């Protein structure tokens, strides 16, 4: 679903959520059945007049049976069922029952149309349903026969809505021959006509003895224009453009928008349950609405699954659950698809003897662990530090030390390990880019969480690349410790030098090695790896000999590259840079002065 369709879904939720407010105003004077009849009758007059002005044919000769059938299933029968339910169960139960509409739609898609939904959509349905429960709450009710009948009626009404979404898609929005084309607005008008045929007689019988007030009639007019005429036209459009299943997820939004309109118009209080419920509902609706692409760039749906859902479950789970999740991720080609595609394309060219499938399994495991680390550090920091890390060669907190790392394995826990020795760690990082699209803005809170966690773990703010050399020089001279990546391709580094790497001559930055030599600091490198069996994270610190003379700097630079290459050859799937590997062997840009 694109941004425009999602915005239309939100608009429809706002329109139909407002219906609860207008009904609360009008129903005391009209009664439930008379209100439903007045609403669809007035909407029919308005929509028929618009269709007449626009000269849009309704196709009654071919479609009158479909209009009557869909009008009964989508409007008349659910209205009557909810009216009955309202007399025997609290309103919150009806709202929760109504929110099961997408569940029914999904079940129909699965049972009758053999549509594969996927774990993420079921997760979205569960999230949204839970959000509705949090939002409206569950008032105590005695389970009398009539209460059970009311609950059954409300759930039956929701199942009718789920069925109607497919009936609309099949009978009223499908493409026809050009000579017989009926627009979506005309189809919506015909369905409202069908609903009116079923409701007008019961509405007249249940008409109030006293004429309703102007305020009540104004609420009915708003229901007819915004919630029925505009709402159904937009609903038909969404069914045609995004399909019945995603369109039906609008049912999750009703209670959230109903609470919002009640606060805005009726000055009703907003409680914590309302805010929390609305947030959970919106997350669930977004999950249900995401597309199921399996090629091309990573989709938002895949990011939610690969960056949030499985890593969060992995972080919260015990050993048994983590091993099950890790086995699933390693075996599933659909996970971290974009990253493993780059690995498959480039690994055979640089390491032709490597086992590509085994490297992909390693790569998916490393990505899972890397994404889970932000949740582990915020939710289970102490346990992870005590039980899940194997640390070797941790340098003592003595004189100034420059610690190098590569985009290999997983080094998240190096920051707290070093900071726990009583000295902050100055980490050099690229600045967080400004979002340029709505998708980047959507993911910015997640990136900010990672950024802030690294700040917290290191003990001092991150150092961005601009001005990093002078800052790090001062840190090392003061006896502090710095942490910096060195396998940076020429397009990102101000100055690089050639070094033997993967059978060729690559370009990498060596500025941090030079700073360590100039300040007389110690030099070491670390590598982090996840054990595929135990899932414990092993972190190895390895010292590198360094002296102030140029030859010692060259040897340290070559030593670092050789250590990195040895690690990559042993477990090539742990290197994160396979998508950019060609950049390391491209001619460097014009060198800048030191």
How far is C-alpha 169 from the geometric centre of its chain's CA atoms? 27
b/e for 49-83, b at 16 or more Cβ within 10 A?
eebeeeebebbeeebeebbbbbbbbbbbbbbbbbb
Taking residues 44-55, what's their average pLDDT? 88
Residue-level pLDDT at 425: 85
Q: Is residue 447 helix, strand or coil?
A: helix
Q: Averaging pLDDT over each range in 6-15, 75-84, 432-441, 526-535, which range is the top one?
A: 526-535
The DSSP code sequence of 45-104 is: HHHHHHHHHHT----HHHHHHHHHHHHIIIIIHHHHHHHHHHTTS-HHHHHHHHTTHHHH
Phi/psi for 428 (5° steps) reads -90, 130
pLDDT of residue 294: 46
B/e letters for 321-349, b = 16+ CB within 10 Å, e = fewer, are ebbebbeebbeeeebbbebbbbbbebbee
pLDDT digits (tens, 9 = 90+) for 2-33: 667 778 888 888 887 787 778 778 878 888 78
pLDDT of residue 233: 85
Cβ contact 107:186 at 8 Å: no
Q: For 550-564, write each residue's pLDDT tens digit.
A: 899 999 999 999 999
Lowest mean pLDDT among 69-83, 104-118, 387-401: 104-118
SS3 406: strand
Nearest-angstrom CA–CA distance, 160 and 71:
11
Does residue 178 surpass a pLDDT of 60? no
User: Would you state the structure tokens that stand for residue 130, as one six-digit string?
Assistant: 């839970």
Among the residue ranges 189-198, 275-284, 446-455, the one predicted with the least confidence is 275-284
118/97 Cα distance (integer angstroms)? 23
pLDDT at 39 over 80: yes
DSSP tag of 586: S
Would you say 476 and 400 are in contact if contact means Cβ atoms under 8 Å apart? yes
Contact 290, 305 (CB under 8 A): no
Distance CA 357, CA 375 (A): 28
What is the model's pLDDT at position 17? Answer: 76
Greatest C-alpha distance within the chain: 102
What is the reported pLDDT for 277? 65
Two tokens, residue 374: 């932000």
| Cβ–Cβ < 8 Å for 451, 461 | no
Reported confidence tier of residue 152, pLDDT bands at 50, 70, 90 = confident
DSSP string covering 459-520: SS--EESTTHHHHHHHHHHTT-EEEEE----TTT-S--EEEEETTEEEEE--HHHHHHHHTT
Does residue 436 surpass a pLDDT of 90? no
Q: How far is CA 336 from the centre of its chain?
A: 15
Distance CA 469, CA 91 (A): 64
With a cut of 90, say whether residue 405 has pLDDT above it: no
Sole residue written with tokens 């920091």: 381
Residue 428 has pLDDT above 50, yes or no: yes
What is the rounded average pLDDT for all residues in the chain?
81
User: What is the spatial distance between Cα 331 and Cα 364, in angstroms, rounded to a whole number?
Assistant: 9
Q: Is 465's pLDDT higher than 60?
A: no
Please report the pLDDT score of residue 295 as a whole number. Answer: 44
More confident residue, 454 or 512: 512
Q: How far apart are CA 299 and CA 297, in angstroms?
A: 6
* Structure confidence at residue 594 (pLDDT): 42
Per-residue DSSP letter, 223: I
Tell me the C-alpha distance between 233 and 585, whole Å.
57
> Residue 438 above 50 pLDDT?
yes
Rounded CA-CA distance 270/253 in Å is 16
Contact 297, 312 (CB under 8 A): no
Nearest-angstrom CA–CA distance, 236 and 522: 69
Question: What is the C-alpha separation between 364 and 305, in angstroms, rounded?
Answer: 13
Residue keyed to tokens 């994160």: 576
Residue 83 predicted with pLDDT over 60: yes
Contact 210, 44 (CB under 8 A): no
Query: Measured between alpha carbons, how far is 321 from 64 in angstroms, rounded to an integer?
Result: 55
Task: Taking residues 267-280, report their average pLDDT.
Answer: 67
To the nearest 10°, report the CA torsion of 545, 549, 551, 554: 60
Please indicate whether residue 147 or residue 359 has the higher confidence score (pLDDT): 359
- Cα 11 to chain centroid distance, Å, stands at 20
Residue 176 pLDDT exceeds 50: no
Contact 548, 468 (CB under 8 A): no
Q: What is the DSSP string of 328-362?
A: HHHH-TTTTHHHHHHHHHHHHHH-TTS-HHHHHHH
Q: What is the percent of the chain where pLDDT is above 90?
A: 22
pLDDT of residue 580 exceeding 60, the answer is yes
Lookup: tokens for 462: 């991150």
558 vs 287: which has the higher pLDDT: 558
């Amino acid at each position: 679903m694109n941004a425009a369709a999602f915005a239309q879904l939100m608009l429809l939720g706002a329109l139909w959520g407002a219906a609860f407010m207008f009904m609360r105003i009008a129903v005391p004077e009209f009664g439930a059945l008379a209100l439903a009849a007045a609403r669809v009758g007035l909407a029919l007059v308005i929509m028929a007049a618009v269709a007449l002005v626009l000269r849009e044919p309704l196709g009654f000769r071919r479609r009158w049976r479909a209009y009557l059938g869909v009008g009964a299933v989508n409007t008349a029968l659910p209205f009557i069922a909810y009216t009955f339910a309202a007399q025997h169960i609290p309103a919150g139960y009806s709202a929760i029952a109504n929110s099961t509409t997408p569940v029914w739609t999904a079940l129909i898609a699965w049972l009758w149309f053999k549509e594969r939904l996927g774990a993420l959509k079921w997760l979205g349905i569960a999230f949204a349903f839970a959000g509705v429960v949090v939002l409206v709450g569950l008032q105590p009710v005695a389970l009398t026969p009539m209460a059970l009948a009311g609950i059954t009626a409300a759930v039956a009404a929701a199942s009718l809505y789920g069925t109607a979404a497919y009936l609309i898609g099949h009978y009223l929005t499908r493409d026809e021959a050009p000579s017989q084309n009926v627009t979506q607005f005309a189809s919506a008008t015909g369905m409202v006509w069908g609903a009116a045929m079923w409701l007008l007689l019961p509405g007249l019988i249940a008409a109030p003895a006293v004429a309703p007030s102007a305020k009540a009639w104004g609420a009915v007019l708003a229901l007819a224009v915004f919630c029925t005429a505009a709402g159904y036209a937009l609903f038909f459009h969404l069914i045609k453009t995004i399909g019945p299943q995603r369109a039906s997820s609008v049912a999750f939004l009703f209670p959230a928008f109903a609470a919002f309109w009640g606060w805005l118009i009726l000055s009703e209080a907003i409680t914590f349950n309302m805010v929390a419920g609305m947030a959970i509902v919106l997350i669930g609706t977004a999950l249900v609405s995401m597309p199921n692409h399996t090629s091309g760039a990573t989709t938002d749906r895949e990011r939610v699954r690969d960056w949030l859902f499985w890593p969060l479950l992995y972080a919260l789970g015990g050993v048994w659950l983590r091993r099950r999740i890790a086995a699933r991720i390693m075996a599933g080609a659909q996970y971290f698809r974009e990253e493993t595609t780059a690995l498959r394309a480039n690994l055979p060219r640089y390491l032709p003897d490597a086992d590509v499938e085994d490297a992909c399994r390693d790569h998916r495991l490393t990505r899972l662990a890397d994404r889970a680390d932000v949740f582990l550090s915020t939710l289970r920091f102490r346990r992870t530090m005590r039980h899940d890390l194997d640390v070797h060669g941790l340098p003592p907190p003595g004189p100034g030390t420059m610690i190098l790392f590569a985009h290999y394995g997983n080094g998240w826990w190096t920051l707290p390990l070093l900071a726990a020795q009583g000295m902050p760690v100055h980490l050099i990082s690229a600045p967080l880019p400004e979002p340029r699209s709505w998708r980047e803005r959507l993911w910015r809170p997640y990136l900010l969480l990672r950024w802030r966690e690294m700040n917290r773990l290191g003990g001092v703010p991150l150092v961005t690349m601009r001005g990093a050399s002078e800052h790090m020089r001062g840190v090392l001279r003061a006896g502090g410790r710095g942490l910096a990546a060195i396998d940076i391709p020429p397009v990102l580094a101000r100055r690089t030098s050639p070094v033997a790497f993967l059978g060729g001559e690559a370009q990498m930055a060596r500025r941090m090695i030079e700073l360590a030599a100039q300040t007389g600091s110690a030099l070491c490198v670390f590598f982090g790896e996840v054990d595929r069996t135990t899932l414990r994270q092993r972190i190895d610190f390895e010292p590198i000999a360094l002296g102030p003379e140029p030859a010692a700097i060259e040897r340290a630079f070559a030593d670092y590259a050789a250590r990195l290459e040895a690690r990559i050859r042993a477990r090539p799937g742990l290197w994160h840079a396979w998508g950019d590997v060609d950049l390391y062997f491209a001619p460097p840009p014009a060198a800048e002065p030191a």
